[in-house]
């Protein structure tokens, strides 16, 4: 039933519930369709594994859904992994650029470790490795320099009490329907650079209200954090910035429209979708498994020795994603960043925050093929050449640190793509493989995963098509 206030402020919970039901229906329908397709494959190596040939005449092994732990893999093999699990349980809680599809770390963890083992992800991002380690009963540590990543990951691996969660949700829905702009005062609205350009006035009031009612919930901090992440997940879509770009930018050409009550409606929709997923995760979450996201260490300063059985990661791509700028608005609203992003940017592997005296001269990494490309880039753009060199140098330090942190015979699985820098092909995976050999890793296996979909646009010339998976052994 509509109250006077919901007529004044046009939110219909029934309409949003119907929309969520339609979305859930579509999702289920889609996976049924895909499952039917799978049964068409007859000449399979394993149930869901099939050889195909792509448009360039290359042989590719297509795998639908879960990857069999004993899958035969030869050096140079190319795989097309079709994921059905992108957003199951807590995996889909928030967008995150270049994240793993869950089947990949699940497979690697099962293939290369045992229950009770210790797993490390030194570039943990949105915590996909940690969720999968937890669900397969392995302890794990996730390292990331970005406070937003650590916050999101912590929420995604923290099971919640079902009753408490549902009653908090019910209370929030009631307060959302009672929203009035006059319930928000100046002190509820965070102050950050260009706030009034990024958001319309009405949306700032709505977001401030949502933040205030979450903070005021009479419930555990873990439940509040879960709702804060739901809140964060709508911020980009109700801002004036482009929804589909890794950088947070306003594109006048897009003529993006944000309407009155959008923040309230989208938050309502997100919690109606996410609470059941969190409940399902909590029901499936094993007890007695530890997951931690230390905030004092860095992928280049890991501080553990002979500790981990396995490390699985996807480091940033050279020159591709500016993570602090991706989550800039979310971090401001969550109170994780105040003011300039530069100090955080400088900590990132792949940072573009470099000063002119650093790139006056050509820098070499000591891998012949890489140095030839660094020279070519230097001739066109010394700054880009230094950024690319610095990326490899940081990755070299990371390899040394992970080598130290692993137990004897432990493995480091690195998933990394190629990209183009100033039109030069920059084959990060090859250079990283050479650097790994130099510091004492043995290359056990390397193979490719073709990427068929990006959720976020990157400039065409920098588009990443193939990820390479390196299995390195201490």
Instruction: Supply the angle between the helices 368-380 and 382-405 in degrees, to the nearest 10.
Output: 150
Choose, by CB under 6 A, the member of 92, 147, 159, 316 that binds ligand SAM: 316
The tokens for 364 are: 């070499």
Q: From the list 92, 125, 147, 159, which residue makes contact with ligand SAM (rule: CB under 6 A)?
A: 125
Cα separations in angstroms, 279 against 94, 140, 156, 274: 16, 22, 12, 9
Verify binding: residue 426, ligand SAM, rule CB under 6 A: no
Which of the ranges 62-70, 202-210, 296-304, 400-408 carries the binding residues for ligand SAM, by CB under 6 A?
A: 296-304
Residues of span 127-156 touching ligand SAM by CB under 6 A: 128, 143-146, 149
Q: Which residue is nearest to ligand SAM (CB)?
A: 125
Residue 142 Cβ, how far from ligand SAM at the closest point, in Å? 9
Pull the structure tokens for residue 88. 């199951």
Alpha-carbon span 311 to 143, nearest angstrom: 11
* Of 125 and 268, CB closest to ligand SAM: 125
The secondary element (H helix, E strand) that includes residue 392 is helix 382-405
* Choices 23-31, 75-83, 311-319, 374-382 (CB under 6 A): range interacting with ligand SAM: 311-319
Identify which range of 204-212, 239-247, 315-323, 353-361 contacts ligand SAM by CB under 6 A. Answer: 315-323
CB atoms within 10 A of CB 368: 10
> What is the distance between the alpha carbons of residues 377 and 371, in angstroms, rounded to a whole number?
10
With binding defined as CB under 6 A, does residue 333 bind ligand SAM?
A: no
The nearest distance, CB 188 to ligand SAM, in angstroms, is 29
Closest separation in Å from C-beta 266 to ligand SAM: 22
Which residues, 89 to 108, sit near ligand SAM by CB under 6 A? 96, 98-100
Residue 159 near ligand SAM by CB under 6 A = no
| CA torsion, ordered 366, 369, 370, 372, to nearest 10 deg | 100
Number of residues that bind ligand SAM (CB under 6 A): 23
Q: Is 470 in the site for ligand SAM (CB under 6 A)?
A: no
Q: How far is CA 387 from CA 12, 353, 394, in A?
A: 50, 8, 10
User: DSSP class of residue 461?
Assistant: G
Q: According to the binding rule CB under 6 A, does residue 417 interact with ligand SAM?
A: no
Distance CA 153, CA 90 (A): 10
Asked if residue 123 binds ligand SAM (CB under 6 A), the reply is yes
Alpha-carbon span 395 to 432, nearest angstrom: 7
Binds ligand SAM by CB under 6 A, chosen from 118, 235, 349, 435: 349
Contact criterion met (CB below 8 Å) for 214 and 224: yes
Torsion of CA 395, 399, 404, 409, to 10 degrees: 160
With binding defined as CB under 6 A, does residue 348 bind ligand SAM?
yes
Residue 113 sits in the site that holds ligand SAM (CB under 6 A)? no
List residues binding ligand SAM (CB under 6 A): 96, 98-100, 123, 125-126, 128, 143-146, 149, 298-300, 314-316, 323, 347-349
């Amino acid at each position: 039933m509509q109250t006077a206030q919901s007529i004044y402020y046009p939110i219909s919970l029934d309409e949003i519930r119907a929309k969520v039901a339609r979305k859930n229906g579509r999702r289920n329908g889609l996976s049924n369709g895909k499952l039917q397709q799978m049964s068409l494959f007859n000449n399979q190596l394993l149930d869901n594994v099939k050889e195909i040939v792509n448009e360039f005449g290359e042989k590719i092994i297509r795998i639908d859904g879960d990857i069999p732990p004993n899958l035969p893999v030869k050096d140079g093999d190319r795989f097309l992994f079709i994921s059905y699990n992108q957003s199951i349980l807590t995996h889909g809680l928030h967008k995150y650029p270049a994240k793993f599809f869950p089947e990949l770390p699940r497979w690697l963890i099962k293939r290369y470790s045992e229950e009770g083992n210790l797993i490390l992800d030194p570039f943990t991002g949105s915590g996909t490795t940690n969720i999968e380690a937890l669900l397969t009963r392995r302890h794990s540590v996730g390292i990331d320099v970005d406070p937003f990543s650590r916050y999101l990951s912590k929420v995604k691996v923290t099971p919640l009490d079902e009753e408490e969660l549902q009653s908090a949700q019910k209370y929030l829905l009631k307060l959302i329907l009672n929203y009035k702009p006059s319930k928000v005062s100046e002190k509820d609205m965070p102050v950050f650079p260009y706030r009034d350009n990024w958001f319309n006035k009405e949306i700032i009031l709505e977001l401030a209200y949502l933040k205030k009612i979450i903070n005021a919930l009479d419930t555990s901090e873990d439940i509040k954090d879960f709702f804060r992440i739901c809140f964060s997940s709508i911020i980009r879509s109700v801002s004036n910035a482009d929804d589909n770009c890794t950088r947070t930018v306003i594109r006048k050409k897009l003529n993006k429209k944000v309407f009155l009550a959008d923040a309230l409606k989208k938050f309502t929709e997100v919690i109606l979708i996410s609470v059941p997923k969190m409940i399902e995760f909590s029901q499936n979450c094993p007890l007695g498994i530890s997951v931690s996201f230390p905030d004092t260490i860095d992928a280049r300063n890991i501080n553990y020795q002979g500790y981990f059985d396995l490390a699985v990661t996807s480091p940033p791509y050279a020159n591709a994603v500016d993570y602090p700028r991706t989550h800039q608005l979310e971090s401001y609203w969550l109170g994780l960043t105040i003011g300039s992003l530069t100090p955080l940017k400088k900590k990132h592997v792949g940072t573009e925050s470099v000063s002119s005296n650093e790139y006056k001269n050509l820098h070499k990494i000591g891998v012949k093929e890489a140095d030839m490309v660094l020279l070519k880039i230097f001739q066109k753009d010394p700054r880009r050449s230094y950024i690319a060199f610095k990326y490899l140098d940081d990755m070299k330090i990371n390899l040394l640190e992970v080598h130290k942190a692993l137990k004897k015979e432990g493995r480091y699985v690195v998933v990394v793509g190629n990209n183009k820098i100033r039109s030069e092909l920059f084959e990060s995976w090859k250079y990283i493989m050479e650097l790994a050999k130099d510091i004492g890793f043995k290359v056990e296996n390397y193979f490719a995963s073709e990427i068929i979909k990006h959720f976020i646009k990157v400039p065409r010339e920098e588009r990443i098509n193939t990820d390479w998976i390196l299995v390195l052994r201490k």
